[in-house]
Structure 1
């Protein structure tokens, strides 16, 4: 599952962060796992469809990590 994505542009050998889709989504961590996976997939696909595009633009997704599931650790 993707937690969030960052968008970057490379120009003249420099890298700049750029605005993404401005979709403000957050997962309900109290929901069942199946719901979390489905919601994450849905939002990630929507974000990808509205993402900035160009030969010099790339996305850096941040994937879920086991520590994201157990915040008290």
Structure 2
């Protein structure tokens, strides 16, 4: 499940943070894992559709899986 994405641009041998779309969202972390995955899938699609585009821009997603919620399993 993707938690969020950061957009970066490489220019003049440096890397810069680039503003991308950031819809406000909140997840019900008490919901079943499958529901969280389905609900959170919508946000990365919205971010991708409004993402800045250029050959020098790349995206760095941050994600988790089920074991990150319950490491003792």
| TM-score range for the pair, normalised by the shorter chain length | 0.7 to 0.9
Taking structure 2 as the reference length, the TM-score comes to 0.83
Q: Which runs of 5+ in 1 are unaligned?
A: none
Structure 1 segments of 4+ aligned residues over 2 angstroms from their partners: none
Which region of structure 1 is more displaced relative to structure 2, 22-31 or 47-56? 22-31
Alignment size in residue pairs: 70
1:34 aligns with 2:19: no
- Give the drift of 1:26: 2.6
CA displacement 1:17-73 (0-9 Å, x = unmatched):
111102122321111222101111111111111111111111000111433x138xx
Aligned position for 2:4: 4
Find the aligned partners of 1:47 and 1:26 in 2 and give their Cα distance: 15
The equivalences for 1:48-59 within 5 A come to 48-59=48-59
Q: Which runs of 5+ in 2 are unaligned?
A: none
C-alpha RMSD of matched pairs (Å):
1.6
Taking structure 1 as the reference length, the TM-score comes to 0.83
